[in-house]
Amino acid sequence: MAATESDRPALDVLDVLLSGGESSRLYRRLVYETELATTAWTSFGWLRYPGLFLVYAQARPDSDTKAVEDGVLAVLQTARDEQPGERELRKAKNIMLTSHVTGMKTVGGKARQLGYYNALFGDYRALFRVEAEWEAVTAEDVVRVARTYLTPQNSTTIVLVPESSE
């Protein structure tokens, strides 16, 4: 999805819900609870043209890759089935807002942001709308975009297994 599309703010929030820190859904499930992975994250970058929503998990050396994949799929299924609670939603928005503001602490940061928004959205003033767009995202929006984009038929799974060093 391109950054200018209407579902982008809800996908931004979903991205942070899934992997915005060590207490996020994906990290908590795969790293802490099941200890299947050493790290797990998602990536949804803003692009001028449609791009990908990536989900990544690095299996522990003794983990079965199928179990890791099943864990990722379970987290994505939960995102499609269950609305985030108000506290979880607020936390995700706070993470995004903090990152957004922190990126503008310096004059150079402000200049980079203005140029980035102008290049991506065709209008530097989009920089001043993004916070309101995130604030407008509801729990229902998050489930809707998860059901729309994070589906088995939209996915490709790649498993990389290192060669033995022996």
Whether 162 maps to a domain, the answer reads no
Burial of 111 (0-12, 13-18, 19+ CB in 10 A): exposed
- pLDDT, tens digit (0-9, with 9 covering 90-100), for 9-37: 999 999 999 999 899 999 999 999 999 99
How distant, in Å, are the alpha carbons of 67, 96, 103, 112, 140 from that of 106? 45, 18, 8, 10, 36
Whether 83 maps to a domain, the answer reads yes
Residues 76, 77, 83: CA angle, nearest 5 degrees: 90
Whether 165 maps to a domain, the answer reads no
CA end-to-end span of the chain, whole Å?
Answer: 43
pLDDT at 45: 86
Task: Give the range of the structural domain holding residue 46, as residue numbers without chain letter.
Answer: 8-154
Whether 3 maps to a domain, the answer reads no
Query: Residue 59 pLDDT more than 80?
Result: yes
Which residues have CB under 8 Å from 57's CB, separation 6+?
Answer: 26, 30, 36, 37, 39, 40, 68, 69, 71, 72
Whether 58 maps to a domain, the answer reads yes
Report residue 166's pLDDT band, with 50, 70 and 90 as the boundaries: low
Give me the number of domains the chain comprises: 1
Whether 164 maps to a domain, the answer reads no
Contact (Cβ atoms closer than 8 angstroms) between residue 16 and residue 92: yes
Whether 119 maps to a domain, the answer reads yes
Dist. CA 58–CA 39, nearest whole Å = 5
pLDDT at 29: 96
Q: Which CATH number is 54's domain given?
A: 3.30.830.10
Mean pLDDT of the chain: 92
**Which region, left, alpha or beta, applies to residue 35 given φ > 0 means left and ψ of -120 to 50 means alpha?**
left
Whether 161 maps to a domain, the answer reads no
